[in-house]
Structure 1
Amino acid sequence: MLPHSMRPMTDSIPALEAIGLTKTFREGPREVSVLRGLDLRVEPGARIAVVGASGSGKSTLLHCLGGLDRPSAGEVRWAGEPIAGLSERRRGLLRNKRLGFIYQFHHLLGELSALENAALPLLIGGMGAAEARARAGELLERVGLAARVEHKPSELSGGERQRVAIARALVTRPNCVLADEPTGNLDRRTAADTYELILELNRDIGTSVVLVTHDLDLAARADQVWRLEDGGLVADKARP
């Protein structure tokens, strides 16, 4: 278990919240509604999975939640703070602090070591290099890569690269991690091990997780499972 100092502060304020989220795209002469007044409340430490057919808007939802795409209507709040009126700079700084991202492809920088990749969000946030490397090293050790910290992505296996990506997503101790098919590029066994690591860190650190996945077996291990249908979320499964 991680030291208490590595766990984010939590209270009754949702880690992430969407209210009336709407997103439309124009295709030629017609408008296509992808999200239609969607609501989602992510409590501190929650594990939420979002499933749905290809093209249903799952990635669009994550992009709106992460402030990477602007909704057509509605509101997104990070730890209680609405993001719509923020400047791009302020939104970027807040995103770096409040959120972590894990994608199907690791998106590591090939010229940097595992340690440097994991420390990058801290350096962007203004932390000193020595402290950033120390904190990144703690997480890399936690995900089983203590002996690989100086290796570059090309020297790591697919599962190892994804573990570096997980460490990078969690190194800022964010309120919530948004994971878009984080195991989709891995073989079945490595995918199961990687997802187990995400859940283990969720339990130990207390960071909320919103997972988009096609894998219903992985989704079933979340606290709540929502299906994205017709632009809204329908409870697929919920456990107290």
Structure 2
Amino acid sequence: MKIEGEVALVTGAASGLGEATAKRLAARGATVVAVDLSAEAAEKTAAAIGGVGYGADVCDATAIETVFTAVTGAFGAPRIVVSCAGIGTATRILPRDGSLTIDTFERTVRVNLVGTYTVMNIAARAMAAAEPIDEDGARGVIVNTASVAYEDGQIGQAAYSAAKGGVASMTLPAARELARFGIRVMTIAPGLFETRMSAGLPDDVRAEILASVPFPSRMGLPDEYARLVEQIVENPMLNGSVIRLDAAARMPPK
């Protein structure tokens, strides 16, 4: 599917993977809608790329519906939707103080998994109501973001791994269901990337992780994620799969 001239909506667009994706899609000629929890931050990204910004919580279906309704009315239905919004948590099932961590688990799953599903659900409805845009009958592409933690999560990542595992696991059934509407669904599972989330890692943890990265032995760059989004959109045979973007790395236990 082509990018130029289409409407692309990116969540988590104020920083990291989302910001890089918004910039790359805009450079390719898309009208980019930048969505972030902070309206001010979303508008800042949008202003830099000639797009439009909205503040919305991905867990708030009403807020996300409002964004899609406004965008569809102004520009047409988004044909490219990329979910990058998420939170990183590190909480043990049994911490040293013996406290319960159920609230943290629930919040992590709600933002990373339920939030991703909410955006996909509303995006699919908007795409399905639009006309096909190519000879294959394509109506749109949805790209979700998991993490390599869905397969090799570290100690303290039970909640994060569960949430990202859910994102990965719903990729194929979502793609199968939405195929009749000409909507593709893909998921990218990044390794360790230079983002606001990874910036908080202690130096010793970062060094240990990077030591296990075969090649290239460094942090991934947000634009390298964005380049994969670009390739997914343009290659019609990419559908229903999870792609690890990790330089062949496997996360150590801790």
* TM-score past 0.5 threshold: no
Q: As a proportion of its length, which structure holds more strand?
A: 1
Point out the structure with the larger helix share.
2
- Normalising by structure 2, what TM-score? 0.30
Q: Which has the higher contact order (CA 8 A, sep 6+)?
A: 1
